[in-house]
Each structure stands twice: as structure tokens, then as C-alpha cells.
Amino acid sequence: MVYVTVRDGFSREHDPHLHTHVIVMNITKYKGKFMGLWTREILSKDFNKLWGTIYRNHLASHLKNMGYSITYSKSGEWRLDNISKECEREFSTRRRQIKTAKSQGALDIDSWRKTRKDKQNNSDKKSIIKAGRDGLRN
């Protein structure tokens, strides 16, 4: 299987958001024969949920090995202990947008879709980091 991973550190709202994009080529070699993958499985909600959980657990393990302290919630999610709740709330623009849309009657997935901005491919990450640092000093 051919795939590539690209690590990113920002959301579309320019909040800090560590995540990895995975691009899978629809080709694999099995028993000497090239063939396409069955994309219905790869694109299914359960498949993505499973691999998202594996990714987050793998990341948590690496962070623990680096000496970071992690607390798990009842739902299995985790958070870094040295990031304050206030800081987490400050940099959760998307969560606020989705909660606002839901409070106005939109369903979960509709709230996510309606509030999601288009990608800005011309974003200058150095400027985003500088603006974030300057904002924290004020």
C-alpha cells in the first residue's frame, strides 16, 4: 500500500491543532498483482473512527514517553495536563462555532458542515505563529 502522512499544526481558524493528514493511493500489490482498494471500507465512519482512535493512542503514548502528563476522560479522550482549561477554551474556535450552530437548532454534522471555512492555501504559518505569540503577550 502506498500512502503519505503530512503533519499539520493549525486548524482552519489558525488555532493550534496538531493533526496528521493521510493520503492513501488507491493501488496495492497482492500476490504479484496490482489492484485497487475497496474504498467503501476506507471511507466508512467505523473505519475512520477506529484509525482515529489508534492515531490518538499512539500520539498519547509518544507524549508520555517524552515526559508529558496526560489525563483521560470517561469517554477515552485525553488532554495534556500542562495545558490549562482556559488556554484550551481560548484556542477552541471551532468548538464554539459548532456549539453556537447546535444551539440554533442544527444537528451535529450540519453544525460542523455549516461552520467549516474553506481552506486558505496561502496561509503563512510564520505569521500565524507570530500573531499567536503577540496575542499571548497582550
Residue-by-residue pLDDT tens, the chain, 138 positions: 678 888 888 888 888 887 888 887 778 888 999 888 777 777 777 888 888 888 889 999 999 999 999 999 888 889 999 989 888 888 888 888 989 999 999 888 888 888 888 777 666 767 766 666 565 554
pTM greater than 0.85 = no
Hey, is 66 helix, strand or coil?
Answer: coil
End-to-end Cα distance, the chain: 48
User: Residue written as cell 493533526?
Assistant: 19
Question: DSSP H helical segments within the chain, as ranges?
Answer: 39-42, 45-65, 85-90, 93-103, 108-115, 125-137
